[in-house]
Structure formats: structure tokens, C-alpha cells
Chains A and B, each alone.
Chain A
């Protein structure tokens, strides 16, 4: 059912009131809520049923994805989508077969909430319940946002606390990572930036201060340095060129520290957006750019052109009234009063001037060829939702910045489309020579599906797909680890 059909239907009924997209969401079968349902137990390794196509023989490896999978308990539920317990999914592709398993991260939060039979742990949109005793951020760590492979360990990431180490073979939780004893409990964003050589950069945010993390590919700490920020913005993601760290400071600023955490922030569009660019080799070398006000969760990898111009894509909203503010409503199958984010290209000129170009296409979960991270690049991959009559996403897009074109594959309204990652063809070197790998929730089959695309021809649709015996709620972020 699309918006046009419904509006036509309303006109035919002669109704005086115009059905808005928001009303349509509530009125239509809210079966998209399958993407936000609770999982009660780990999923033991199981084969997926092949639906069509064949996995290319060169595509061998494991897709790990993370996302919240337990939201509601008898004594009390989370107040926000971001506060569900993290569950890591593993999709192993080998010899044309796919196997899946999924396991909850064994966090202090999950143990406390399970024992209380209620969500008592505070979070982004959840107040503390009776009996909550938080001694530090890792007591509230939901370990639910993303994953990172480092030195043979799989880390489950959550922006308010430490990474949580898992065994990548069994998905068993090994425990919270302390990268250095005096840095115990320092936060680690769920969006590290990994250079093509495997060096890992990340930020840990604390109001107007941050720690800059630099790790070796094996996860060992190379450097941890404190920096001051010109404002205490909420920052879910940052980006980087080969030479710089790029911190986008939106005007959703923290003016106190309270739980639920999202109530600590105030929207102040009059401040505009600032972008802080730091030299990776000397964090005291800083530049600030001014942009119009916008709200964002996610950015693409940045690049620097020969004349010093820095560019990167971003998925932007006009303000936080969408997911950030209404992540509780979505768990109740209620309407979200906002359009999906749209793609924007941000330019930071060598002359110190910033430019912000917002596009018409909706966009979230931006990814690109990891071999070109921080380098001049041509392509972005993201999800889209051009039908505003249903939340979550329905299509996969590949943006060609050089030719100014978009290729889109639309799964249609019966799929919830999740982040799709690029996997390079082994032995190739050209950008985007490889595949896109991503999951959807098929609302008709009531099952999670895995889809492969030829990355250069996404509009032709998946070249192969498999279906799981269960539907798991939508995930946020993941990585593909080649075998």
C-alpha cells in the first residue's frame, strides 16, 4: 500500500479529513513491528535455505551483525530502541551454503534486568528502575550497536562504554575490554574508523572532552590522548581522511548528565553545526568549519583531494525529532513524526569555508569500500526508504559521486532492509569490485533473509538469497570478515 493509493482511497470515501502518512502507519497492518520484536533465547547454528542464485566461490567468510533484540520484560520495558540487549548474529558463507547463529552478549545490564524481571538499567531513553545500582558506564553497557574484529577477537560496541570481547567462533562473551588499566571504563564509540592498513581510530565522548583512541590492527593500544571540544554535542559517529580526524559537532548539546541520557541534550539550531578537523599526527593542530544546523547519526568515510578540500557524505535530519527522540514510539508500533534522513555531501574547503548540500534521496547506514577508507573514492552504499508510509528501510542504493548517479534496488514494502556492506573480490583492487551483503526481514515469510548483490549492479537485484528459519529483529551495524 503506498501513500498515493491511500490518499485516493480517502478521497473516494469522501472523508473530510486527509489521511496523513503518520495516520497511515498506525492504520495499516503494523507488521513492520516484527523488526522490533523480542528474542527470548540464543539461536543455535542452523543452515539457511537457499532461495535463489548461487554464492560466488570467491565469496567466503562471515558476516557479523549486532543489534538490540530484547526490549520488553514483565516488570518494565526499555524506553527506547537503542536500549535493548545486544545480540550478535553470525552468517557464515562457504561452499555456496550459509549458516546462521545468534547469541546475546552476556552483559552486566542483561544479568541485572533478567534477575529483576524488569528493565531497571538506565540508558539512552530508559530511566533507572528500582534496584538499579550503576557503578560505572559498563554496568549500563548494552553492547548492542556494532561489532569490530581486532586481533582475532570480536568486539561488541556500544558508544557509552567499553568494547565487549566475544569469541568469534562461538559468540561466547569473554568480558569487557580494558585497553589500559588507567583507562578502564572510558567510552569507545560504536563507529571506529579503520584505515586500509588496519589501524583503528576512535573517539570516547564525555561532554566537552573526548579521548582519541589509536589502536593497532590487533586491538592493542598505540595512543590515547584527551582533547577538548568547543561544545558537548551528542556524537554517534565521526569520520576521517588519511591524515585527519573529522568530528561533526551538531547543535544537540549536552547541558547536564542525567538518565535517560537523551534528556541531557538540548536542540539549539542557532548554534549551527561545527566541524572540528584534527591532524592525526598532532591533535593540537585543529581547524573549525561552520555549517548550517542539522541532526545526524551517521557519516561516510571522508577523503581529501589534492587541493586540500575534504569531502564526506552524511545522513541528515532537520532536527532530533525522529529516531533520537521517538525511539520509544517505534517499539510500540506507533508513528514516528519525521521523514527518513536524507543524504548530504559536506565539503570543507582549503580556504576554511564549509558547504552543506542536502539531497532529495533518503539515506541511512552509509558504507563504502573499506580498502578506500580515508582515500579519494567514488562510491557510497546506503539504504533508502522512498515510501514514507512505513518506517525502517526498503531499498539499497549505490551512489556514484563521479557520475552523479544512483542505482537503487527496491525490495518493496514487505521487507525491512538492514545495513548492507561491501565485500571486495579477493585479488581485485578497483573500488567496488565485489559484492554487497546484507540482511532483510521478510514480513510475508516472517523470516530474516541474507542477500548478495553484484556491487556494481545493485539495481539488478540480489544474485543470491537465503532464508533463516526465524525472524530476528533488525540489526544496526556489522562487518564481513573474509575467510
Chain B
């Protein structure tokens, strides 16, 4: 996962892309919500992927941040070209900018995937988490565990 600074820069880049887009209705906006959080601490770090290759090599096409203390906790990713995407997110409860793991590599902070795709001895595949973004408004709810 990237650091908080990288997320900040990526947010600025996202906003810049949004402001220069002129054919707004050719693109999709994606609202991500995070219902039923066990804790309202920290930021939710979000990564959006547009390919299986990006997913497995950890190269997101967009990143976003939500605040766990907002009610509802949500983030909006704007001006996405319509297509297939998958999202992974974690809640940075301790605020260190990284997904916390135990010494054997098991995640210890809440995390989740689009379509609430289930991990099984590792993260789900891109296809298991993938959904379609169409022109206009799109929504995905992710339950972080």
C-alpha cells in the first residue's frame, strides 16, 4: 500500500482530471460507501484497479480516501472511463499509512473488496471483485472486516 502522501497527491490528480473533463456524461462517477464499520477511527484507504494485471501487481488506476468518522463513510471517484473495475480498501486505524499485519503477514486492520468478494487463503481474484462502471452514477458498498 502507498503512503498517505502518495494518496494525497493522487487525490489532487483525480480532481485535476475531473476539472478538465468536458464530455462529463461519457464518464462514470463511482461512489464507494463503507457501511457498518466496527470502528470510526482513521482513514479508509481505497485503491481502484482497471485490470487483473494491475490488481495482482498492486498498481491501482485511482486511489481515494474516506474518513471513517463520517456518517456515512464514503468517497467518490469521478470521471472513470466506463468499463470493468475492482476495488480493495483498508481502514488505517492506527494512522500509520500502511495496512497493519501481524508478524506472519496476516492483516490486523479491517479490509474489504468490491462485491464483498471473499478472501480465501489470500485476496480474491480481480474477477471475483470486479463490477461494471457505466456512464453516469455508480455505487459500490464495501463491508470492511
Contacts and interface: CB of A to CB of B under 8 A. Distances in A.
A388 interface: no
Interface stretch (A44-52, A177-185, A272-280, A398-406): A177-185
B36 interface: no
Contacts of A211: 103
A206 interface: yes
Interface in B65-113: 100, 102-104, 106-108
Nearest to A184: B108
A306 interface: no
Q: Which of B100, B103, B104, B119 has the most CB of A within 10 A?
A: B104
Nearest to A258: B121
A183 B120 CA distance: 20
B103 A183 contact: yes
Interface string A209-248: 1010000000000000010000000000000000000000
A185 B109 CA distance: 12
A186 B104 contact: yes
Contact of B108 (A133, A134, A181): A181
A132 B120 contact: yes
A114 B104 CA distance: 29
B121 A206 contact: no
Contacts of B120: 128, 132-135
B26 interface: no
Interface string A179-205: 001111111000000000000000000
Contact of A185 (B106, B118, B119): B106
B63 to A, nearest CB: 24
A241 B6 CA distance: 51
A175 to B, nearest CB: 13
B106 A209 contact: no
Interface of A: 128, 132-137, 181-187, 206, 209, 211, 226, 259
28 contacts: A128-B120, A132-B120, A133-B118, A134-B119, A134-B120, A134-B121, A135-B119, A135-B120, A136-B106, A136-B107, A137-B106, A181-B108, A182-B100, A182-B102, A182-B108, A183-B102, A183-B108, A184-B102, A184-B106, A185-B104, A185-B106, A186-B103, A186-B104, A187-B104, A209-B104, A211-B103, A226-B103, A259-B121
Given A182-B102, A185-B104, 17 more contacts: A128-B121, A133-B118, A133-B119, A134-B119, A134-B120, A135-B118, A135-B145, A136-B106, A136-B107, A181-B100, A182-B108, A183-B103, A184-B102, A185-B108, A186-B104, A187-B104, A206-B104
